[in-house]
């Protein structure tokens, strides 16, 4: 396979009725902090329109180094922005709302792609 861009794909399933809490944390805490502390980290968020409505899907280019230590990398940026105690508090609230989370490194398979 030729040299390809590595991406992170994250699929979060949110517990029923907790979508607004997740959205609030994302809009007021996570997204502003990541934009400020990790301006090189650019992502797209997708929301289902059919089927599993309580999901958030994130797709973003990422280095192999940051993929391997993704949680540590993100948590350090959040702690730098809000302080360790505050970031721990809202991340605990976040995890109480999440049913499951899957993340993986992915590359495009050009032989099977049509874009």
Along the 115 residues of the chain, how does pLDDT read in single tens digits? 445 789 999 999 999 999 999 999 999 999 999 999 999 999 999 998 887 779 999 999 999 999 999 999 999 999 999 999 999 999 999 999 999 999 999 999 988 988 8
- Rounded to the nearest 10 degrees, how much is the dihedral formed by the CA atoms of 52, 56, 59, 64? -110
Q: Which two tokens stand for residue 53?
A: 């409505």
The total number of residues written for the chain in this structure: 115
Q: Is 17 helix (H, G, I), strand (E, B) or coil?
A: coil
User: Mind listing the domains of the chain with CATH numbers?
Assistant: 7-107 (3.30.70.100)
Q: Phi then psi for 84, rounded to 5 degrees?
A: -60, -45
What is the value of pTM for the model shown? 0.84
């Amino acid at each position: 396979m030729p040299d390809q861009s590595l991406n992170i794909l994250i699929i979060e399933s949110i517990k029923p009725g907790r979508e607004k809490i997740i959205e609030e944390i994302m809009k007021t805490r996570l997204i502003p902090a990541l934009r400020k502390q990790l301006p090189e980290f650019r992502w797209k968020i997708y929301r289902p329109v059919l089927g599993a409505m309580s999901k958030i899907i994130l797709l973003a280019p990422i280095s192999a180094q940051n993929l391997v230590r993704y949680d540590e990398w993100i948590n350090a940026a959040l702690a730098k922005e809000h302080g360790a105690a505050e970031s721990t508090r809202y991340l605990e609230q976040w995890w109480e709302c999440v049913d499951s989370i899957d993340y993986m490194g992915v590359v495009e398979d050009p032989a099977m792609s049509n874009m």
